[in-house]
Amino acid sequence: MKVEKVVLTHVRVPLVEPFRISSGAVSEKDGIVIALYSEGLTGYGESSPMAGNFYSGDTPERSWEELCNVVVPALFGRTFEDPSDWNAALDKLPAGNFTKTGVETAFWDIFAQRQNKPLHQMLGGTAATVRSGLAVGLYDDLNDMLRTVDRYLADGYHRVKLKIEPGHDIDIVKAARKAFGNIPLYVDANGAYSLAHLDVFHALDDFDLMMFEQPFPGPALEDLAALQQEVRTPICLDESLDTADQLRRAIQLDSFRIANFKVQRIGGFHRALEMLHICSEHYIESWVGTMPELGIGQAQGAALASLDGFVFPTDVEASTRWFRDDIISPFLQVKNGNIELPTSPGLGYTIDGEKLLKYKVAARSFPS
């Protein structure tokens, strides 16, 4: 596959409601759409870090600069044969994982089209549908949180994830359990706690939760191991697992029981497949998370979630769950808690050119 042309489009789409976690909030979603042209085919990817630098060091502005000045110039005009080939080239470049993911996944889209296979089958998935789970951000008013959960449970989501932060944790879970009973439920702290908060997790241990997702900051693997020894509830790691080496170290330390892999955070599909294999070897259960991304990234997450090794419902939700609009057609839909995977070759969704223009922040083409 020779890279003949690349078009980058930075878009910004308004959210239905602010997305708030323990470290910050956003009311708009930035995404950089990568259109990669090769031998009559076009592959699409999305570089989708959160704005404001509150989830990771990657930001939309940083990814834009890296794509324009480092990644695309290094790959333009070159020929690649398979995933290991283009990933070897990407590995050598000084750019963040979110940046590389947009290009890495666009290659996979073309690769699947050339093989005349849907993306999920190209990745090794066999399921025709994937189970979706509901993620709910932080609210100032518990009643607003409960109304949100109640509204979306009607769509059949297979579990509910609640964001927590110090001072807003036990009360959130207690209210959800009182309102909804013994639904599949867990909490996500986005690294906001420490061993000083053991009493909180001992209390949460009594609510029969599926997992505690990322209770401590990413690097705190030793402390996470200590917490796992203190609680019955399985610890799930997200921000701690950026690389295969970090995953192996977390396994060695016994820091967790469940892994959440975000395609954006770990650098693309090739790394996700590698890390899923490591988890399978060590009997670590896994699932596919999202930022959330716009439609391209969400569709990619759903495709990855179709693989047998991902045993928990994905964070991928319907387009209208978070966004007032989307850049794909048709929108992602959740029916009876499930996402039906497309059967056409590649990504399986059309990229809406008019929507790209409507929400465009910046654009650049190679060659210019």
> 346 lies in a domain?
no
Rounded alpha-carbon distances, angstroms, from residue 121 to 38, 126, 147, 224, 335: 21, 6, 37, 35, 21
Per-residue pLDDT tens over the stretch 192-217: 999 999 999 999 999 999 999 999 99
The residue from 262, 355, 358, 360 that is catalytic is 262
> 210 lies in a domain?
yes
> 318 lies in a domain?
yes
User: What is the arithmetic mean of pLDDT over 231-260?
Assistant: 98
> 283 lies in a domain?
yes
Kindly state whether residues 100 and 149 are assigned to the same domain: no
To the query of whether residue 100 is one of the catalytic residues in this protein, the response is: no
Confidence of residue 73 (pLDDT cuts 50, 70, 90): very high
Question: How confident is the model at residue 57, as a pLDDT?
Answer: 79
Kindly state whether residues 193 and 227 are assigned to the same domain: yes
Question: How confident is the model at residue 213, as a pLDDT?
Answer: 98
> 345 lies in a domain?
no
Percent of the chain at pLDDT > 70 equals 99
Kindly state whether residues 27 and 148 are assigned to the same domain: no
Average pLDDT of the chain is 96
Kindly state whether residues 189 and 71 are assigned to the same domain: no
Give yes or no for residue 54 having a pLDDT over 70: no
Kindly state whether residues 107 and 179 are assigned to the same domain: no
Per-residue pLDDT tens over the stretch 26-43: 889 999 999 999 999 999
Kindly state whether residues 189 and 219 are assigned to the same domain: yes
Kindly state whether residues 247 and 278 are assigned to the same domain: yes
Report the CATH number that the domain containing residue 254 is assigned in CATH: 3.20.20.120
Kindly state whether residues 211 and 126 are assigned to the same domain: yes
The answer to whether residues 258 and 211 touch, using CB atoms and an 8 Å cutoff, is yes
> 240 lies in a domain?
yes
Domain that holds residue 190: 121-340
pTM: 0.96
User: What is the arithmetic mean of pLDDT over 69-86?
Assistant: 96
Confidence of residue 53 (pLDDT cuts 50, 70, 90): low
> 347 lies in a domain?
no
To the query of whether residue 262 is one of the catalytic residues in this protein, the response is: yes
Domain count, the chain: 2
Per-residue pLDDT tens over the stretch 268-279: 999 999 999 999
Kindly state whether residues 319 and 359 are assigned to the same domain: no
Kindly state whether residues 206 and 135 are assigned to the same domain: yes
The residue from 2, 163, 174, 358 that is catalytic is 163
Kindly state whether residues 323 and 266 are assigned to the same domain: yes
Report the CATH number that the domain containing residue 23 is assigned in CATH: 3.30.390.10
> 71 lies in a domain?
yes
Kindly state whether residues 58 and 130 are assigned to the same domain: no
